[in-house]
Structure 1
Amino acid sequence: MSTIQRSSPAAIDHGYLAVRARAGRVSDLLGVRGIIVGLILALATLALGIVSLGMGTYELSPGEVLEALIYLDADPRARLLVFEWRLPRVLFAIACGIALALSGAIFQSLTRNPLGSPDIIGFSAGSYTGAIVVMLWIGSSRYLDVAAGALIGGAVTATVVYLLAIRRGTVGSFRLIIMGIGVGALLNSLNSALMISTDVDSALLAAVWAAGSLNGLGHEQLWPMVTMLAVLLVLVTTVAPGVRQLELGDDAARALGVRANRVRAVAVVAAVSLTALVTAAAGPISFIALAAPQIARRLVGGTGLALVPSALVGAFVLLASDVIAQRVGFPVGVLTVIVGGGYLSWLLAAEYRRRT
């Protein structure tokens, strides 16, 4: 049973109005502000999805989209456009936004640094390298093969960065970010070398994929991606309490019974897998993992790991970026780089002002 937690002599004052959600032996404290923000984001994403379903060479009004979604006897052409051609793209944008935002939230929580996202610390570049090797060297563009290559590339990169960041038995967040930036730069150079060393047609195909695009994705790729995402969501939900405790520091987390190294390793595997999943499906889409958790924290007003708000922000931002990308004729990855580059510049300037 859920109850509203208010400041009173008999209750802990958390400093904000909250709802205590309890399911058996598992309970969590949900801020009312976070619930309201989450509902608004979910409704905004739904509305934007309806707009996106109506976009294309043959435009559909929101009413026609809703009619095609709800009624079986609607215009067959509208139902074909909505269900077969446009709905997979919308669902891909939402799923990829959720995966990238969760990956960024986990890494930022583990590093306790707003720059600790897979884009910055090189894990996205590692997934890209693995996918490029499968596409150019092995010669396969099947989704499962590319997904396996992206996962292996991201896992190897994460292992190398993690080992390089270890000093005296501990992993410093600043050292992890610096090592990740260095490894990421090396991998980007390797990716360029791989592209140059192959034939023009293969390199062009890989370059188009590397721009990060949701074009051409259908139900065939959607359901394997959603299935793997659901498995990873369960893993993230399981490890999230331990990650929140790690924000207090390893010593404090161990005092509370958390196996710090084990929780961190599982969290890194889950976050890298989320990034690899998106890279395999749509190519490298940058800056969603960096920006979404920070935007979610500012909207909700919290400071800790905010998985659900981050996921909702990621879904909305990536879907909005794809809607704009369709209008201007750019791949969505190009648009997120433009927007994310501006956000990164602002973030670095804000961090500099705060420390001086």
Structure 2
Amino acid sequence: MTVAQSPVVDPGYRVVPVRLAGGRISLRFGLRAVLVTAVLVVVALAIGVVSLATGDFVVPIPDVLAAIVGNASPRAELVVMDWRMPRVLLALMLGAALGAAGAVFQSLTRNPLGSPDILGLDVGAYTGALLVIIAGTTAAGPVAAAALAGGLLTALLVYGLAYRRGLQGFRLIIVGIAVSAMLASLDTWLILSADLHLAISAAAWGAGSLNTVGWGQVVPSAFVLAVLWSALGLLARPLHATGLGDDAARALGVRLDASRLALVVVGVALTATATAVAGPIAFVALAAPQLARRLTGSAGVTLSGAAAMGACLLAASDFVAQHAFAPTQLPLGLVTVCIGGMYLIWLLIRQARR
């Protein structure tokens, strides 16, 4: 495979003609989008390094970097690699997953409010996991499977109720808000009806937290997210095409129904994975795609930019949750709700002015 020199077709985009054995294709990408995404990745990693260095036992950043490559003292390696690294990695991975899930649903609905938070998918995943926890099972596998099942069933319910001779993004959002409210009421009733110890555990988990995670959650989460990211990469073209409208997508040869179903399944799986590990984390999926779109100057949401922004938001929120009121640690979900709530108010005011 050879890549020819890439001509600039407009101030913001570059086309790369790629010659393959069976023909030739052209790759088009935005220079600004690539640069902004790279900067966001660097910022997310920098937040992770600072998180590894900060705590009751302060580790200088050079020692943190030495511990990562295995050249630090045993004490520094214990603190950095065993105690703090799993939490930092999960914050980055789950933030990227939520950002990508938000990009999927905002592209499908063609609405900045069309995220798993608003559509009730994270509440559905929480309901599924809650049923398993209250039944007395706290193992990661059953909880994750129940969260995925709850998210998929909620997506099916919302999709079915919103479908009327086609699917409109605004109707989907309204139905999602209603279903989310009903499921939230059901969750409250389940917690109030459960055994006291299980109810306390379920309520604490439902606030969203990374306080108890370890390497046992990192490895399976990384494997599942790698599979989902690979599937999302294959679905990137139909995702971008659906953002142009149904007629344009059909003209480009996209099978709309099959593509939408696959994208919904992957988007729900990304949300459910984050919910199964850390509990319901609100507003990251809502805010990350739109913030990334404004920074990149793209006409629509981009998967890579949204994922990088999601990683930044969740890593920063987790840092605030750990250290804002140290030694007391706040629930991670509380911090993201505060940040996301302010963003949502700004977004609603901006939309109303239009």
State if a TM-score over 0.5 links the two structures.
yes
For 1:209, the equivalent position in structure 2 comes to 205
- Give the Å deviation of 1:21: 7.2
- Give the Å deviation of 1:23: 7.9
For 1:338, the equivalent position in structure 2 comes to 338
**Residue 303 in 1 paired to residue 299 in 2?**
yes
What are the equivalent positions in structure 2 for 1:130-169 lying under 5 Å apart? 130-137=128-135, 139-168=136-165
CA contact (8 A) 1:5 1:17 kept: no
Q: 1:185–1:49: structure 2 CA closer, same or farther, 3 Å change rule?
A: same
- Give the Å deviation of 1:66: 1.2
RMSD: 1.4
For 1:99, the equivalent position in structure 2 comes to 97
For 1:6, the equivalent position in structure 2 comes to 8
1:1-49 deviation per Cα after TM superposition (whole angstroms, max 9, x unaligned): 2644324xxxxx4x52425374846653121111211221121122111
The CA distance in 2 between the partners of 1:23 and 1:203, in whole Å, is 60
- Give the Å deviation of 1:241: 0.4
For 2:348, the equivalent position in structure 1 comes to 348
CA contact (8 A) 2:104 2:267 kept: yes
Q: Which consecutive residues of structure 2, in runs of 5 or more, have no partner in the other structure? A: none
Q: 1:94–1:263: structure 2 CA closer, same or farther, 3 Å change rule?
A: same
Aligned residue-pair number = 345
For 1:78, the equivalent position in structure 2 comes to 76
CA contact (8 A) 1:119 1:125 kept: yes
The CA distance in 1 between the partners of 2:15 and 2:74, in whole Å, is 46
The CA distance in 2 between the partners of 1:311 and 1:69, in whole Å, is 24
For 1:114, the equivalent position in structure 2 comes to 112
- Identity of matched residues, %: 48
- Give the Å deviation of 1:127: 0.3
Q: Which consecutive residues of structure 1, in runs of 5 or more, have no partner in the other structure? A: 8-12
The CA distance in 2 between the partners of 1:21 and 1:67, in whole Å, is 42
CA contact (8 A) 1:195 1:203 kept: yes
TM-score (norm 1): 0.94
What are the equivalent positions in structure 2 for 1:288-299 lying under 5 Å apart? 288-299=284-295
The CA distance in 2 between the partners of 1:21 and 1:68, in whole Å, is 43
The CA distance in 2 between the partners of 1:288 and 1:152, in whole Å, is 21
The CA distance in 2 between the partners of 1:206 and 1:232, in whole Å, is 27
Supply the AA of the counterpart residue of 1:58: F
Q: 1:104–1:2: structure 2 CA closer, same or farther, 3 Å change rule?
A: farther
For 1:241, the equivalent position in structure 2 comes to 237
Q: 1:65–1:313: structure 2 CA closer, same or farther, 3 Å change rule?
A: same
- Give the Å deviation of 1:248: 2.1
What are the equivalent positions in structure 2 for 1:35-54 lying under 5 Å apart? 35-54=34-53
The CA distance in 2 between the partners of 1:218 and 1:23, in whole Å, is 45
CA contact (8 A) 1:4 1:17 kept: no
- Give the Å deviation of 1:83: 1.0
SS of corresponding position for 1:304: coil
Bigger mean CA offset, 247-256 vs 312-321: 247-256
CA contact (8 A) 1:212 1:333 kept: yes
Q: 1:246–1:79: structure 2 CA closer, same or farther, 3 Å change rule?
A: same
SS of corresponding position for 2:117: coil
The CA distance in 1 between the partners of 2:253 and 2:348, in whole Å, is 36
Equivalent in 229, 249, 253 of residue 249 of structure 2: 253
